[in-house]
Structure 1
Amino acid sequence: MKKIGFIPLRKGSKGIPNKNKRKMVGRPLFTWVLGEAIFSNLDEVIVYTDDESIIDFIKKEYDWTNKVNAILRSEESASDTASTEYAILEFCESINYNFDVFCLLQATSPFTQSNDINTCLEKLSGDNDSALTVVNTHRFLWNKDGKPINYNPFERPRRQDFEGLLIENGAVYTTTKKALQENKNRIGNNVAVVKMQEESLHEIDSESDWIVVENLLIERQKRSKKSDKITHLVLDVDGVFTDGTITYTKDGEHTKSFDMRDGMGLEILRQYNVEVMVMTSEDSELVAKRMEKLKIKHVFLGVKDKFSLLKMVAKKENISLSNVAYIGDDVNDLTNICSVGWSLTPNNATDVVKQHADIVLSKNSGAGAIREACQFVMNYNKRF
């Protein structure tokens, strides 16, 4: 049974310019749901967009999986007046409905997790031909005529005694091919509901919405953190190995400064069977040569979605994020900082990272911060 995921994206965004590509907790907004779709039970994930920069981004960023495919959608389907159903049907007809189950995922729902997707897929059994995600709200509703909709105000129930209402949160919709062909709609006639957390009801239509959702995501990641024995240390480069500055020569070449003591700390750490990995957004030959000199085998260059890659590495290495220590210094490290077992940051890191890291090191980047972190890992692991 072929299960296909579908994420429609448009360039235009009136409330928040470039909303889909803007960094939410250091990651482009659309990558939150895309990353979860990759690690779900979907067989293929289609990003359907009129933004060619997103297509280029996906081709480069997710070369470690064959599950993602970015397709250029028509101008008609990306217009302000075109419905999501229009885009769905345009795509489905272009592939002759070559799937058994269709799953619509909304990029503006960053709270969606792989288990939400999987549960919606599992609901397509028995009499159910479709499923959607909802939130159980305990708000008291009124109509415009001043009449209560879902409760008796003269017998106001306590929250724990009130069933409330189920409201669509617009995150995940699954349907069978047959139902989609017959109804031309994201849902069919027999719909199952899947509850998600109440925070997933937040929509992102304004700058204040963005701030609320971002803070909720940060807290969600931090609440799920666990700390086990550290088996892997993952490091950013600029602002961690180096002081974050680049020196240019008259010929345009640039140089970076590395602290030799940091290299010794990593060498000692490997003797304690801690795997060292590097993950940086820069694609630099200079960095590659330095890591080769340090005998670091796992070096990932040019990474923009560090969290999805980290999850892939953890899956491949058969470890949990609770076994990972991560050192980063800037906003593109933030999701990893909030998610791993132990997060550390140099003393001269950006304020937002220092605010959320487990440990702010006493040393600056390029001046012994990594060596200090290595000593922490060795001391911490002694308890195991």
Structure 2
Amino acid sequence: MDGAAASACSGSGAKPDHMAALVLARGGSKGIPLKNIKPLAGIPLIGWVLRAAIDSGVFQSVWVSTDHDEIEKVAKQFGAQVHRRSPEVSKDSSTSLEAIQEFLRYHPEVTIVGNIQATSPCLHPADLIKVAKMIQEDGYNSVFSVVRRHLFRWREIKKGVNEVTKPLSLNPAKRPRRQDWDGELYENGSFYFAKRHVIEKGRLQDENGTYYEMCAEHSVDIDVDIDWPIAEQRVLRYGYFGNEPLKEVKLLVCSFDGCFTNGRIYLSEDQKEIISYDVRDAVGISLLKKRGVQVRLISERDCSKIISALKLDCEMKVNVTNKLEVVKDWKNKMGLCWKEVAYLGNEEADVECLKKAGMSAVPADACGAAQKTAGYICKCKGGRGAIRELADHIFLLMEKVNSTGMK
């Protein structure tokens, strides 16, 4: 909009649009319990779409509609506001439209709703930016997402009926090659944008609506448990990881107590300290070093003798009172930027390092403050394979950087 048009608009007294992103996240999922906050590639499922919505910059507010305390907690951690939906729209039989209508009754300022599905973890801000323009500037009342599929459809035959089927989307006598056929558009459920008056009439799409075609790589929907490992691989390759480009990890700093160990200390009869660790973590450190990633250990205690006895061949710093200053010093001496540093921590003392690191991770049993800050939450607990798991995650992201040419 040019200056004159904007001036005319403001002079007319018309209120600007308030476009709200709304993610529906009921706590009573039957297929996968609490699916919306189950970790996917180290981040709660809902976190992927909230990150994309917030980073798009096109929404005046970003909301999660839920009936569950844990989902509310995760939503707020990712920067969303929370609408506590009523029991009437939280039933198994409740529809998305009913939940959206309830949200609008409580928020009269909202003129456009971008209903984003929590189960679409490969959503990117670029798609949301384009759709916002379509509904705000191009005059559409509703826009929904679709994906192109090259699938030949046939008429279904009822069980017990002896008859032949018939083609619905092809001529068998002239069966086209994939490259000679445009395919068909299917709703992929990623998002439904609609103006208030459309929703109030009981619809998410109307006659003055259109579709937005998403690329197949970003069209990922999780409905059943078997999709989870496949979706993780898709997200690691095609997901949105933030508004700054990925960098190759060159340094991993790991808090010793609670990450390499389980945080427990045992004493022998002669008062010698004994710790336990997982051999997988030692293997993970070795693999990282072979891939050119330096690994360094940090501890608030004096555990140098224990670390030395483990023969991990890692530089270490003990009796640390300010972990951030130590990591910053290591980073500067190596000539690295923060995007090239990974940090694995588990306590409040690690939070500032987790905030700064380009890749931040915590074990599954880390404290709440650390989990809230981390970009990746391991499935493994501290001292139970968390470092090995993070090593695999780093390798996958490094492959992503190399395959896409991101620097």
The answer, yes or no, to whether TM exceeds 0.5 is yes
In the alignment, structure 1 residue 9 sits paired with structure 2 residue 9 = no
Corresponding residue for residue 43 of structure 2: 27
The amino acid across from 1:220 in the alignment is Y
Matches within 5 A, 1:264-343: 267-271=329-333, 274-276=336-338, 282-285=346-349, 287=350, 298=356, 301-304=369-372, 306-307=374-375, 330-331=378-379
1:67-78 equivalences under 5 Å are: 68-78=80-90
User: What is the alpha-carbon distance in structure 2 between the residues aligned to residue 135 and residue 155 of structure 1?
Assistant: 25
Aligned position for 2:390: 353
Select which of 70, 74, 81 maps to 1:53.
70
* Deviation for aligned residue 1:5: 0.4
* CA 122–17 in structure 1, closer or farther in 2 if over 3 Å, else same: same
Aligned partner of 2:275 in structure 1 is: none
C-alpha separation between the residues in 2 aligned to 1:236 and 1:265? Answer: 7
CA distance in 2, matches of 1:280, 1:350: 8
Instruction: For 1:245-264, list aligned pairs within 5 A.
Output: 245-247=262-264, 261-263=315-317
Alpha carbons 1:11, 1:50 under 8 Å: kept: yes
Letter in 1 for 2:374: K
Task: Describe the SS at the equivalent of 2:99.
Answer: helix
Matched position secondary structure for 1:195: strand
TM-score of the aligned structures, taking structure 1 as reference length: 0.68
AA matched with 2:174 = E
Q: CA deviation at 1:100?
A: 2.6
The code of the aligned residue for 2:180 comes to D
1:132 aligns with 2:161: no
Structure 1: how far apart are the matches of 2:144 and 2:240? Answer: 27
TM-superposed CA distance for 1:200, in Å, is 4.8
Superposition CA RMSD, Å = 4.0
Corresponding letter in the other structure for 1:42? F
TM-score by length of 2: 0.64
Aligned residue among 153, 156, 177 for 1:141 = 153
Distance 1:185 1:69 in 2: 24
Alpha carbons of structure 1 residues 247 and 13: separation in structure 2 relative to 1, 3 Å: same
Deviations 1:255-286 (A, max 9, x none): 7566694457852531465455786663424x
SS of aligned partner of 1:70: strand
Q: 1:201 to 1:220 in 2, by over 3 A?
A: closer
Residue ranges of structure 2 left out of the alignment (5+ in a row): 1-16, 158-164, 268-298, 305-313, 318-325, 361-368, 398-406
- Contact kept in structure 2, 1:106 and 1:172, CA below 8 Å: yes
Q: How many residue pairs align between the two structures?
A: 310
> CA distance change for structure 1 residues 265 and 112 in 2, over 3 Å: closer, same or farther?
closer
Which structure has the larger Rg over C-alpha atoms?
2
Structure 1 equivalent of residue 211 of structure 2 = 193
CA contact (8 A) 1:278 1:298 kept: no
2:158 is the counterpart of 1:175: no
- Aligned-partner Cα distance in 2 for 1:241–1:269: 23
Distance across 2 between alignment mates of 1:30 and 1:359: 21
Indicate the larger mover: 193-202 or 106-115.
193-202
Q: Deviations over 1:272-326 (max 9, x none)?
A: 65455786663424x479x7xxxx995895244634xxxxxxxxxxxxxxxxxxx
- Write the distance in 1 (CA, Å) between the matches of 2:342 and 2:388: 22
Take 2:199 and 2:377, find their aligned partners in 1: how far apart are those partners? Answer: 47
The correspondence for 1:107, drawn from 115, 118, 131, is: 118
Alpha-carbon spacing, 1:54–1:258, altered in 2? closer, same or farther (3 Å)? farther
| Equivalent AA in structure 2 for residue 159 of structure 1 | R
Tell me if the contact between 1:9 and 1:48 (Cα under 8 Å) persists in the aligned partners. Answer: yes
Paired residue secondary structure (2:228): helix
For residues 142 and 257 of structure 1, the distance between their equivalents in structure 2, rounded to whole angstroms, comes to 70
When you count helix as a share of all residues, which structure comes out higher? 2
- Name stretches of at least 5 consecutive residues in structure 1 with no aligned partner: 308-327, 334-347, 361-383
Residue by residue, what CA displacement relative to the aligned partner does 1:132-151 show, whole Å, maximum 9, x if unpaired? 11001011111214221221
1:203/1:272 CA distance change after superposition, 3 Å: closer
Query: Is the CA contact 1:103–1:174 (under 8 Å) kept in the aligned structure 2?
Result: yes
Distance 1:234 1:20, change over 3 A: farther
Give the 3-state SS of the residue equivalent to 1:17 in structure 2: coil
8 Å CA contact 1:5, 1:103 repeated in 2: yes
233 and 35 in structure 1: CA distance in 2 versus 1, 3 angstrom threshold: farther
Specify which of 231, 254, 261 is matched with residue 213 of structure 1.
231
Corresponding residue SS for 1:131:
strand
Deviations 1:222-245 (A, max 9, x none): 9999776x7x98866446996233
Q: 1:317 maps to what in 2? A: none
Q: Which residue of 2 aligns with 1:81?
A: 93
CA-to-aligned-CA distance 1:14-65 (integer Å, 9 cap, x gap): 2112211211111111111111111112121110000012223333x24xx5
Identify the residue that residue 172 of structure 2 maps to in structure 1: 153
